[in-house]
Amino acid sequence: MPVIRSADATVHEMHGSRFVAHANTGTGSKEICAWRVEIPAGTTGVPHTVSREEVIHVLTGALRFTVDGEAADLVPGDTVIVPAGARFGVDNPGGEPATMWTVTSVGLTATLADGSTVTPPWAN
């Protein structure tokens, strides 16, 4: 039975946020990836287009999500579903850090505004 202890999760830093990978192909998951994102106060996210659907649940703090130009402020307990092919960004405009939990299918890529593609190691 694959068990990923919090102390064994893999940490990645990108665009000013910290991605803590718990489930992906490297930890034994064949189809689903899941990670926690820690977003510092005052962070403006990097908009990107996702190749796969993402389900994101706010754990702490308050975050502003923008999906295909529509913005919404979410607080702990709120969830947003980002469709595959959507342009997506998340900001933490507040004065406190925030965390969120993300789940998607293996193989997610993100296309940035400049056309470059990122294959996040926590999502493969």
Q: What's 108's domain CATH number?
A: 2.60.120.10
- What is the C-alpha separation between 100 and 75, in angstroms, rounded? 10
User: Each residue of 13-55: pLDDT tens digit?
Assistant: 999 999 999 999 999 999 999 999 999 999 999 999 999 999 9
- What is the C-alpha separation between 10 and 22, in angstroms, rounded? 7
Q: Give me the number of domains the chain comprises.
A: 1
Residue 71 forms part of a structural domain:
yes
pTM of the model: 0.94
CA atoms within 13 A on the CB side of 9: 17
Residue 80 forms part of a structural domain:
yes
User: Each residue of 51-88: pLDDT tens digit?
Assistant: 999 999 999 999 999 999 999 999 999 999 999 999 99
pLDDT at 1: 82
The pLDDT-based confidence of 6 (bands split at 50, 70, 90) is very high
CB burial class (10 A; 0-12, 13-18, 19+) of residue 71? exposed
